[in-house]
A and B are shown apart, each in its own frame.
Chain A
Amino acid sequence: MATKAPLTLRVFQLILWSLVLLAIGYMVVPRFLPTPQTPEFGPGVPLSSPFTLVNQNGESVTEAAFANKAGAWFYGFTNCPDVCPTALTEMAGLLQALGDDAAKLNAVFVTVDPERDTVPVMKAYVEFFDPRIVGLTGELPAIADMAKSRFIYFAKVPQDDGGYTMDHSASIYLTNAKGEFVGTLDAEEPLTTKLAKLKRLIGEAA
Chain B
Amino acid sequence: MKTRVKRFLVGAVVAVALMSPTSSAFAHGFETSELEIIHPFLRATPPGAKTGAGYVIIRNSGSEPDRLLGIEMEAAARVEFHQSVVEEGIAKMRPIEGGIEIPAGGEYRLGADGSHAMLVELTGGIGLGFLVEATLIFEKAGRVPITFEVEPAGATLESADAEHTDGH
Contact = CB atoms under 8 A, between A and B. Distances in A.
A and B co-occur in one complex: yes
Interface of A: 76, 78-83, 85-86, 88-90, 93, 116, 120-121, 124-125, 127-129, 153, 157, 159-161, 163, 165, 167-171, 187
Nearest to A160: B95
A169 B116 contact: no
A171 B89 contact: yes
B92 A157 contact: yes
5 contacts: A80-B93, A129-B46, A161-B78, A163-B120, A187-B86
Contacts of A83: 84, 86, 91, 93, 114
A88 B43 CA distance: 13
Interface of B: 43, 46-53, 78, 80, 82, 84, 86, 89-93, 95, 114, 116, 118-120, 152-154, 156
Contacts of A161: 78, 80, 120
Q: Please classify the interface of chain A as helix (H, G, I), strand (E, B), loop, or mixed, using the class held by over half of its residues.
A: mixed
B48 A124 contact: yes
Contacts of A167: 90-93
Contacts of B120: 161, 163
B61 to A, nearest CB: 29
Given A81-B118, A82-B114, A89-B154, A153 B92 contact: no
B84 A128 contact: no
A153 B90 CA distance: 7
Contact of B46 (A124, A160, A169, A170): A124
B154 A85 contact: yes
B156 to A, nearest CB: 7
Nearest to A122: B46
B98 to A, nearest CB: 13
Contacts of B84: 82-83
By Cβ-Cβ distance, the 7 closest A-B pairs, closest first, are A89-B154, A128-B46, A81-B53, A170-B91, A82-B84, A83-B91, A85-B153
B89 A82 contact: no
Contacts of A121: 48
Given A167-B90, A169-B89, 15 more contacts: A79-B50, A81-B116, A82-B82, A86-B156, A89-B152, A116-B50, A153-B89, A165-B92, A168-B90, A168-B91, A169-B90, A170-B86, A170-B89, A170-B91, A187-B86
- Select the residue from B78, B89, B120, B152 with max chain A CB neighbours within 10 A: B89
Contacts of B43: 81, 85
A93 B159 CA distance: 14
Contact of B95 (A81, A124, A128, A159): A159
Given A153-B90, A161-B120, A170-B90, A90 B78 contact: no
Contacts of A85: 43, 53, 153-154
Nearest to B53: A81
A125 B47 CA distance: 7
Nearest to A89: B154
A108 B152 CA distance: 21
A120 B118 CA distance: 23
A137 to B, nearest CB: 14
